[in-house]
Structure 1
Amino acid sequence: MNRRKFIALSTVSTCTFSMTRFSSKTLQSDPGKIPGWLVELIKTNDKGLESLLGYQITDQTDINFGGVKDYQDILNPHSTAAIIQAGACSLFSDSSEFYNSARVIDALAAAAGYLVKTQHSDGTIDLLSTNFHSTPDTGFLVKRLSNSYSLLSKANPPGVEKILVPLKKFLQKGGEALISGGIHTPNHRWVVSAALTKLNGLWPDPRYVERAEQWLGEHLDIDADGQFNEKSTFIYSPLTDRLLITIAKGLNKPEIFDAVRKNLSMTMFYMHPNGEIVTEASGRQDKAIVGTLENYYYPYRYMALKDGNGEFAAMCKRIEETAGQKIRGSLDYLLDDHTLWRPLPASKALPVSYAKPFPNSGLVRIRRNNWDSTIIAKNAVWLTYMNGSAVLQGIRFASSFFGKGQFKSEKINEEGNRWVLTQKLEGPYYQPYPKASISPDGDWEKMPRENRPQSEIQVLETTVTIREMDKGLEIEISSKGTDRVPVAIELIFRQGGVLAGVVKADPDKDQWLLKEGTGTYTSGSDTITFGPGTALHKNIALRGSLPAMDAPTVYLTGFTPFQHTLKIS
């Protein structure tokens, strides 16, 4: 779906159904009608629509008539647009319980009227959580509501003009904003360009194309790894794939499909065995969240059918299995393009055993069938490990070194069969300020510390070396330089499992020490074993380290010079 809280509202309406799985029968498609797998999504969409209708203002005397509240009871354009998107899909589909529904037509007409009323004179709308008079947010709505306009025009239910007239007014006025307005982030360029492309398909205007071409002139922000600038694997990378497909189709630019292929090929290696997506390297709000790949379903399906790509077809199957009907978020895309109703090409085996670096993203992916690990640079969490449903969300290492001892490595070095991360810290003391530069009023702030001579410089060098072993990893952590510095290794597990072999570090918190031997973390039928332990002190909240996460966490502690080899399997 589109944006932030709008995502939350739309998810609330469907979360009860998100674990539904497709059966082999529903995946069979009849080219003469909407296929069974889409019918399943339409049924889920109907339930979501019913929920959204409950948030709409229906009192015609209310100044906000037609508007839809979000889950925080705030009326806004995004949640109002959601009811139009869901309603258009239902009105389009004869398998929907709301097909040709006069109630839904009236609700969508009221929603479109509310959008027109809340739209600024310059054509923009507001994202009330952060952006005002926002061209990018206007682009998000124009892009998806153009899909809705197309579906409603094709369906042409009785009374549809009550929706189409105000919706066209909103879209065309929004187009004026998109022709001249600015953006914030890299993906906003493609949001605006895709929205202009959709508008040009409905009401051709050379100004739409000219502005899209201007943004496209900055070139696509995809690196050699196949990742976009924001590295936002759950939200903005799949969004960018969808946008680029729209632009490539609408403006007849087949070369743009290459970027989509590149990103989708990379993403196959970012999938955990359980169908979740690696998010630790993201530069946006989805960093380190738990998410599945439903947002990629439309790009994978489109490109699988376009190219006859068996790996992309297999990714579609995997998303169907692991994300269920959460792919309902792309229903308008899937309904509006009947070529996507065709059966997928024959699946080709996906990669399940590899050690693959992505240097531009500062990340290494290791997978061996049912277990996998991610090594991450420039991140306090520098390693994750998953064995089936048992998840070690991250390992961190910190020291009480001048309040700046949280370990991060600028890069990951491959040395034979080892992956090496390093950090060097200095802790100086400072001498009297140069006499000629002393501030006459004695103001400390006027005598910046960087201008003072340094002395007694303390040094701490930490090296983490990671090697593969049978069914897991061997991690050697060495920290030396200044002696007697307290250090702590932090193993952060996902909530919901059971720890064994460890002792409480804090009686009131989910924090534990592994003093010796090995510990285990079990979730369902899957277990992660870790050790050996060491606990030379109980100071786990080291000064300068990040606060503990709200998760079951196991600590190993010691002092420098520190050297410990931890095995995880």
Structure 2
Amino acid sequence: MDRRSFIRKNGQLTLLAPFIPFTMEGLTGFSRELQKPAWLIKMIANNDQAVNRIQARYVDKPSSPVFGAVLDGNDIASPHAVTSFLKTGICSLVSPESDFFKDRTLVEKLGHAAAFLKNLQHEDGTIDLLSTNFHSTPDTGFIVKWLAPVWRLLEESTVPEKEKISTPLYGFLKQAGEALKVGGIHTPNHRWVVCAALAELYKINKDQGYLERTERWLMEGIDMDADGQYEEKSSYIYSSLSNRVLISMARGFDKPELLDYVRKNLEMNFYYLHPNGEIVTEASGRQDNSIVGTLENYYYPYRYLALKDNNGQFAAACKLIEDTAFEKTTGFLYYFLEEPDLWKDLPAAEPLPVNYARTFENSRLTRIRRGAYDASILAGSTAFFTFHKKQVALQGIRFASAFFGKGQFSADSFSEENGKYVLTSYLEGPYYQPFPKDKIPGDGDWSKMPRTERPTSEVQHLTSKATISEDQEGFLIDIEIQGTDRVPVALELIFRPGGTFVGTVPHEQLADVVYLKEDTGKYSYGESAIHFGPGIHEHSWVQIRGALPKMDAPTAYLCGFTPFHHQIRIS
């Protein structure tokens, strides 16, 4: 089938009708009727900057074995790096507001890039993610869901000699579709990435195999818990990704019921927001755990459903993203170029919740917001408490005791009691008696005499409890550790880098380490400050044996012995 038949099969040209008006230059009235809003023009300008940055890594020597490639940060010609160039470059190429609009030099480069990508594709239709996955169906899916929309944009444009790009790119997409109809996955979100890629291909060619494979994956059900969070609990990366690809599936395969999952997650996010527009990541089960993340990845879902549902809170989330993270939305430009309906003005914003205490059982996370400050209590993390106040953040509180090398506190149980949040752990430290006589192997091999079969004696016990409660301007953290006496304890307050301590004493040797020996300390950044105290200093040992290594962040230590009972106020 030739390239144009591919898009016309089964009347598919009608699917492209929404794109035609703003690319058919010279038709009276269209430029006025579909004039792009200022935010979109700004996004296009930002995209141009990205094109310039990527071109600096483009391999333009015809004699090179990787001619047409883009080198990644490790100087490797990877399919993902060249895909980034194709996606970004085509968006600029088809946009009249871009400095690269119909740029012949860019057409040439993108043509060679498309050919290079096609050459990287395996016979089975897959590509490699060189850092870990080879002949990878899900990574092929990621690339297809990016490139199918920009292929459609290019195909409907009037860019001269666009076939230099679209012909090899069409060949790549068609062969990739065959891989996506049969290939396997690794993670929960991979299912929906593959299905979204199939949906984007289905907009080009109604191959029933695309729909059938999607239906097969959908039989497993969407991995959303009662709180509105996806299986991986990856609030910055994969939850936002799942929202975007579910929208693609809903639209491409006419499955509007999938949008209900997106709505539920977007509504849950209202309670995951810090006052400065960042999102809570400490409960994530993926690589975004505890990173600083903003909401840019949610801009398309919030805007799409704000307009579709006339939802003022979703509109407010869009405004928050525009105010705090708009520069980072540029990678999603292709969504907005392809959908002029998204250019409409948002509905009137309605207030987002800023005063609440809410527990998400499935994530073992409690969120408390009181206007300009907020806190997270995490039952499933060694950093069990965080506190954000405008520009400054207490990234976590941890504590450890030198109890048989296993005294890093991690809660075994979590409960709420009369407005107080209680996290508890229990440890034992036994000694071991001689191995039972009738089981001694006789050859002195220690590994054949496991501890699990030895009687124990002199068993030591340690119970650790953290009780968190609110007061007028912040929180009280009550730490109680008892059982075995004279066990050294170190309590860590870990702050986001960039600020300044007051009222603390620097560690004698370690950088970014201070003691809070008495009274109250302060950590300031910009016009914001967190106050904490009183301190305690019964010893100077901060790197407790068995504790997690110090984080690469400014840290204040409070040091004592068991029985340890100390209350610290955070405000």
Q: TM-score, normalised by structure 1?
A: 0.94
Look up the match of 1:339. Answer: 341
- TM-superposed deviation, 1:271: 1.1
User: Which amino acid counterpart does residue 222 of structure 2 have in structure 1?
Assistant: L
Look up the match of 2:441. Answer: 439
- TM-superposed deviation, 1:30: 7.2
Look up the match of 1:13. Answer: none
**Residues 294-337 of structure 1: per-residue CA shift (max 9 Å, x gap):** 00000100111111110000000000000022111211111111
**Residues 47-68 of structure 1: per-residue CA shift (max 9 Å, x gap):** 1101111211111122211110
- Which of 469, 479, 482 aligns to 1:480? It is 482
- TM-superposed deviation, 1:236: 0.5
Look up the match of 1:110. Answer: 112
Look up the match of 1:39. Answer: 41
Look up the match of 1:316. Answer: 318
- TM-superposed deviation, 1:107: 1.2
Look up the match of 1:348. Answer: 350
Bigger Rg over Cα: 2
CA RMSD of aligned residues (A): 1.2
- Which of 492, 516, 530 aligns to 2:494? It is 492
Maintained 8 Å contact 1:295/1:329: no
Maintained 8 Å contact 2:413/2:425: no
- Which of 68, 88, 93 aligns to 1:66? It is 68
**Residues 2-33 of structure 1: per-residue CA shift (max 9 Å, x gap):** xxxxxxxxxxxxxxxxxxxxxxxxxxx97522
Q: For 1:202, what is the secondary structure of its paired residue?
A: coil
User: Which amino acid counterpart does residue 202 of structure 1 have in structure 2?
Assistant: I
Look up the match of 2:385. Answer: 383
- Which of 192, 195, 209 aligns to 2:194? It is 192
Look up the match of 1:558. Answer: 560
- TM-superposed deviation, 1:436: 2.1
Q: For residues 137-156 of structure 1, what are the structure 2 equivalents within 5 Å?
A: 137-156=139-158
Q: For residues 239-250 of structure 1, what are the structure 2 equivalents within 5 Å?
A: 239-250=241-252
Q: For residues 212-227 of structure 1, what are the structure 2 equivalents within 5 Å?
A: 212-227=214-229
Look up the match of 1:12. Answer: none
- TM-superposed deviation, 1:71: 2.0
Identity of aligned residues (%): 53
Q: For residues 385-404 of structure 1, what are the structure 2 equivalents within 5 Å?
A: 385-404=387-406
- TM-superposed deviation, 1:422: 0.6
Maintained 8 Å contact 1:466/1:473: yes
Maintained 8 Å contact 2:506/2:514: yes
Look up the match of 1:359. Answer: 361
- TM-superposed deviation, 1:72: 2.1
Maintained 8 Å contact 1:378/1:411: no
- Which of 402, 408, 414 aligns to 1:406? It is 408
Q: For 2:427, what is the secondary structure of its paired residue?
A: strand
- TM-superposed deviation, 1:507: 3.2
- Which of 285, 288, 311 aligns to 2:287? It is 285
In structure 1, runs of 5+ residues without a counterpart are 1-28
CA distance in structure 1 between the aligned counterparts of 2:443 and 2:201, rounded to whole angstroms? 64
- Which of 522, 531, 541 aligns to 1:529? It is 531
Q: For 1:478, what is the secondary structure of its paired residue?
A: strand
Maintained 8 Å contact 2:356/2:370: yes
User: Which amino acid counterpart does residue 397 of structure 1 have in structure 2?
Assistant: F
Look up the match of 1:20. Answer: none
Q: TM-score, normalised by structure 2?
A: 0.93
Q: How many corresponding residue pairs? A: 541
- TM-superposed deviation, 1:411: 4.2
**Residues 344-388 of structure 1: per-residue CA shift (max 9 Å, x gap):** 111000111111111110101111111111111121100011111
Q: For 1:506, what is the secondary structure of its paired residue?
A: coil
Maintained 8 Å contact 2:412/2:426: no
Moved over 4 A (4+): none
Q: For 1:412, what is the secondary structure of its paired residue?
A: strand
CA distance in structure 2 between the aligned counterparts of 1:464 and 1:37, rounded to whole angstroms? 47
Look up the match of 1:256. Answer: 258
Look up the match of 1:50. Answer: 52
Look up the match of 1:457. Answer: 459
CA distance in structure 1 between the aligned counterparts of 2:423 and 2:393, rounded to whole angstroms? 22
**Residues 243-264 of structure 1: per-residue CA shift (max 9 Å, x gap):** 0000011111111111000100
CA distance in structure 2 between the aligned counterparts of 1:397 and 1:156, rounded to whole angstroms? 63
Cα 1:160–1:410 change in 2 (3 A) is farther
- Which of 125, 131, 135 aligns to 2:133? It is 131
CA distance in structure 2 between the aligned counterparts of 1:439 and 1:201, rounded to whole angstroms? 69
